[in-house]
Each structure stands twice: as structure tokens, then as C-alpha cells.
DNA sequence: AGAGAAATGTACTGACTGGAACATTTGTTT
DNA sequence: AAACAAATGTTCCAGTCAGTACATTTCTCT
């Protein structure tokens, strides 16, 4: 709930950007909470400073709003990731930092995770339509690629690492940890999701990833 | 699609069990495809040999049907797992087999995965109500526990392994691989999901898990 | 200032959808 | 066989909800 900076619409002044932004913020939260068909346009409207009329005015229909909300969610999260600068770190530390960051970042952005879950339920058909999103994510892989490249040059990483697979693995842990928390803790209890355990899990994952990129060692 | 054994209702004979089973099968597939609020009771009914009337007769309301479908999905999948006997294998092989099996089993049961995804979107509130499901899953952990115990006795596994965390990690990989395939391949292409890559991923995961339970080795 | 465009308010509707009412048939028990 | 219970068929309805029609206000440009 950011204090609307440039837009304190006192009394009553037009401010299209603020209105759009307001709608999108609420939309993300509603869609993330209730899914595409579970969300009511009227509910979104009522949580907004504006009216349902404006939703249709700016976003056409429910699907248009959903797609925009999806993009907004991706954008916000990828922005957070961009703040991470790893190039000045040695490869192993850089990778460790990246993994730990990803783990935490996912935890901090449950709405984003939920939007992705929902999009997966819908077979990513709306995401596919968004070039914006594709570009952002490819950029994320490049960061990983660069670390891998440096690591291999310096001989601290093994050859033949596929950055995409690495990304897949890092994501798997970090994503699952948030996405499946409800069922997991309904079945096995909440223990794994308390702070202490989460720290340990994060460390475990960092170690696992590092082991995976290291020179192979025969295990007895 | 088992050939309805005891129930070929030729002409017109009552057969409550077959009707219930019929409804549940369709319900799982519809709910898995469209989510809770995205699913239409009428659609389920029309895909059934019976009518909407019977859905309400046996399951009360939409939520009741959904809950039963969820249980049915869990039951079917856990049955498949029960067929896996690992006690006669040495611990390392047993664990490797379990991990590989889990990976494949999840791939073979996308509807189950989707039901769990949906349930997570709903914060597991319906699953929480089902004692049946909790019991089944706890049983799954016990299988893992037993392998760990044997491995530690024999000195091939390190001490302090927590079976629950192990399960968490195995699930993370295997689940994510199915649940996030749509978004992942929309963004990065389908390469990782072709047979060849999937085999390699599976092996990679088996190795990672085995490394994790092995006696620790300092890595340069 | 005034005219056209952009933005917003208000009230409404047509289709969809979960669920119920009412009626009938099939099975079971004594 | 009759009476009761279980199962099924048919029809309809009342609430919900995405989307629209129509009217008005604010902004921008000349």
C-alpha cells in the first residue's frame, strides 16, 4: 500500500495513471488470492478507489485485466532480482548468494508465486501471449550463465553445466517451498516452515547446488 | 478407465457404486482441468452416464464433490506408490529407486498434481478436513524413514538425516517438474521436457539426493 | 472561451449456474 | 404383495456476475 506519491487526488481530479496503478495492485492481490475464475470483478472494483466502469475502460475485460496483473506481478519480482549484483564476487560465492537470495525472494513474494501457480493451472496460455515476460526471464538466465562461465574459466566449476538446468533446480526448491506449503504443512505439520528450519533448508539447498556444479567426486 | 467389472448396467438397473465411481472419475478430471470455481457441475454431469441430480444426491453440493474428488485423486496415487517394495534392496539402491520412481510417478499423474496445486491455491482448507489423506501421506514418510534407518545402521548414510526434509526435497523436484512445466516451457522452450532431458534430470536428482545423504566430503 | 477528446459516474441486463421441487421408478423387507 | 426406502428422471428458479448503455464531468488544444 504505497503512499500514492504523485497522485493525491484530493477533491476530485483526473489521474489515469494512478487509477490504472490502483486497479492493478488490487487485481494482483485478488487474482493471486482467488484465481482467475474465482475472482470477482466487482470485488476488485470495490477495493479500488475507482469503479468497475474504469476496469473495463482501461483493461477491456476480465481476461485483459488478468493478463495485465500477471505482467505486473512478474515485473515487480524481476525488479527485485535486478538489484542483485554478483559480478564482483568469486563464482562460488556468487552462486551461493544467488541461490540464497532466490529462496528468500520467493518467500517474500507469495502473491507472485500464486500468480504463477494459477497461470500453470491455465497451462500458461496467458503468459504465452506476453512477450514482456519472456524477455524478463531470459535475462534472469543470463545472470546465471555469466556466473557459470566465470566458474568454469577459473576451474572451480565442472564442465558441461547447463545454466537452464541449474535454474530449473534452484527454482524447483524455492518455488515449491512456497507453493506447496499449505498442503505440506496440512499433512506434515508446520515444523519445516518455521524460521529455524527454513534457514537450514536454505543452507541445504545452497550446498546441494554448489555440490552439483563442483568437480565430480566419486562417493564411496 | 477400468472396464466396469461388476456393473455393466445394461438396460436399466440401479447401481449406486458404479454411479458414484463414474461421477468421481469425471469430477477429478474436471476439477483438475478447471479448478474449483472454474468447474461447472453441469459439465461434470454431462460427461457422466448419470445426471446432475445424482451428484447432489450423493455428494451434497459442489464442495462435497470436490472434497471427495480430492480424496479419490490422493488414493489412486498412493495406491500406485504402495506397489513399490524397497525393503529387499540395499539402502542406497533403495533410495535411488524411490527417487526415480517418485519422479516418474508424478509425471504419470498430472491430474493428481493439478489437484494438489489447486488445493494449495485454496490454502489446503479442504484437504485439512480429510483425515484419510493425512494418514496416507504419513505412511509414505515411513517408507522413507525405514530406508534412512537401515542406511545409517549400515554406515552408508550420514547421521542426522531428517526423513521429512528428504521427502520435501524429493517432492520439490518431482512436483515442480510437472506443476510448472507450462510456464517454464512457455518462457524457456520445451527442451527440458523432452524424453532425453527428463531422463538426465531424473538421474541428476537421484545423484543429488544420494550425495545429500552420504557421508559429508569437503569440497575444494 | 469553446469544442472535441478523455475520463468517470450510475444504473441496468442477459446469460450462466448451483441447487431445489416434485414426480417416478426400482429395490428390500416382512 | 404391500409398504417403505433407496435411487433416479425432469423441470425450474433465484442469485450472481461479466459486461453495457447512457449520461456527465474534466482535460487539452487552439
Q: Which CA distances in Å does A51 have to A22, A47, A65, A114?
A: 11, 9, 14, 25
Residue B23, C-beta contacts closer than 8 angstroms, at least 6 positions apart: B44, B48, B50, B54, B55, B58, B59, B65
Look at residue A88 and tell me whether its pLDDT is greater than 60: yes
Condensed to tens digits (0 to 9), the pLDDT of residues B88-114 reads 999 999 999 999 999 999 999 999 999
More confident residue, A209 or B2: A209
- Check CB contact under 8 Å for B219 and A201: no
pLDDT confidence of residue A117: 98
CA distance A170 to B4: 44
Nine-digit cell at B133? Answer: 489423506
Overall average pLDDT of the A119-137 stretch: 91
Question: Under a CB-based contact definition with an 8 Å cutoff, are residues B128 and A185 in contact?
Answer: no
The DSSP call for residue A194 is S
Report pLDDT for A218: 53
Residue B209 in contact with residue B170, Cβ under 8 Å? yes
A75: number of Cβ within 10 Å: 14
pLDDT over 70 (residue A45): yes
Task: Please report the sign of the dihedral spanned by the C-alpha atoms of residue A11, residue A14, residue A18, residue A21.
Answer: positive
Distance B208 CA to D15 C1' (A): 55
Chain A interface disruption, residue of B102, B183, B192, most A CBs within 10 A: B183
| Of A107, A100, A105, the residue nearest A209 (C-alpha) | A100
CB A176 to CB B177 under 8 A?
no
Strands (E), chain B: none
pLDDT at A2: 33
**For strand D, which nucleotides have at least one atom less than 7 Å from a protein CB?**
6-11, 16-21, 25-27
Q: What was the pLDDT predicted at B38?
A: 98
- Nucleotide minimizing C1' to CA distance for residue A13: D26
Residue carrying the nine cell digits 531470459: A138
- Report the share of chain A in percent with pLDDT over 90: 80
Cα B5 versus chain centre, distance: 25
What's the grid cell of residue B213? 545423504
Cα separation, B180 vs B184, in Å, equals 6
Cα–Cα nearest to A75, from A25, A39, A3: A25
Biggest CA-to-CA distance, chain A: 75
CB atoms A119 and B37 under 8 Å? no
Buried residues in A120-155 as b, exposed as e (16+ CB within 10 A): bbbebebbbebeebbebbeebeebbbebbebbbeee
Q: B220: helix, coil or strand?
A: coil
A56: which nucleotide lies closest, measuring CA to C1'?
Answer: D19
Query: How far is CA B78 from its chain centroid?
Result: 7
Q: How many CB pairs under 8 A join A and B?
A: 151
From chain B, the residues in CB contact with A35 under 8 A are 35, 37-38, 121
Amino acid A62: pLDDT: 98
When pLDDT is cut at 50, 70 and 90, the band that residue A6 belongs to is: very low
pTM (two decimals): 0.92
How far in angstroms lies nucleotide D21's C1' from the CA of residue A33?
32
pLDDT tens digits, residue range A101-116?
A: 999 999 999 999 999 9
Q: Cell triple for residue B182?
A: 507450462
- Cα angle value A13/A17/A22 (rounded, 5°): 90
* All protein residues with a CB under 7 A from any atom of strand C: A 14-16, 19, 50-54, 57; B 12-14, 39-42, 52-53, 56, 61-63
Average pLDDT on A17-41 reads: 97
pLDDT given for residue A188 in this prediction: 93
The contacts of residue A179 (CB under 8 Å, 6+ apart) are A113, A114, A116, A117, B117, B120, B179
pLDDT surpasses 70 at A100: yes
- What angle do helix axes A131-153 and A91-108 make, rounded to 10 degrees? 150
Q: Write out the H or E segment, with its range, that includes residue A171.
A: helix A163-179
Select the residue of A37, A186, A211 nearest B127 (Cβ to Cβ). A186
Region of A155 on the Ramachandran plot (φ > 0 left; ψ -120 to 50 alpha; else beta): left
Q: Is there a contact between B185 and A119 (Cβ–Cβ < 8 Å)?
A: no
Nucleotides in chain C near protein beta carbons (<7 Å): 6-11, 16-21, 26-27
**Can you give the length of chain B in residues?**
220
Taking residues A82-109, report their average pLDDT: 95
For chain B, list residues with pLDDT below 70.
Answer: 1-12, 217-220
Amino acid at each position: 500500500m504505497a503512499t500514492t506519491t504523485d497522485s493525491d487526488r484530493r477533491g476530485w481530479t483526473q489521474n489515469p495513471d494512478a487509477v490504472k496503478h490502483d486497479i492493478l495492485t488490487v487485481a494482483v492481490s485478488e487474482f493471486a488470492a482467488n484465481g482467475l475464475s474465482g475472482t470477482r470483478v466487482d470485488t476488485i472494483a470495490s477495493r479500488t478507489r475507482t469503479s468497475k466502469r474504469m476496469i473495463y475502460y482501461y483493461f477491456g475485460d476480465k481476461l485483459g485485466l488478468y493478463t495485465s496483473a500477471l505482467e505486473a506481478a512478474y515485473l515487480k519480482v524481476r525488479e527485485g532480482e535486478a538489484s542483485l549484483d554478483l559480478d564482483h564476487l568469486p563464482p562460488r560465492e556468487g552462486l551461493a548468494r544467488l541461490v540464497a537470495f532466490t529462496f528468500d525472494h520467493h518467500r517474500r513474494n507469495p502473491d507472485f508465486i500464486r500468480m504463477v501457480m494459477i497461470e500453470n493451472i491455465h497451462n500458461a496460455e496467458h503468459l504465452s501471449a506476453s512477450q514482456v515476460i519472456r524477455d524478463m526471464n531470459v535475462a534472469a538466465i543470463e545472470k546465471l550463465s555469466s556466473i557459470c562461465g566465470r566458474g568454469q574459466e577459473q576451474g572451480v566449476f565442472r564442465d558441461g553445466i547447463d545454466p537452464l538446468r541449474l535454474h530449473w533446480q534452484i527454482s524447483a526448491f524455492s518455488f515449491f517451498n512456497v507453493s506447496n506449503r499449505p498442503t505440506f504443512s496440512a499433512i506434515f505439520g508446520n515444523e519445516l516452515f518455521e524460521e529455524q528450519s527454513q534457514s537450514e533448508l536454505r543452507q541445504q539447498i545452497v550446498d546441494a547446488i554448489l555440490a552439483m556444479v563442483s568437480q565430480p567426486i566419486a562417493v564411496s
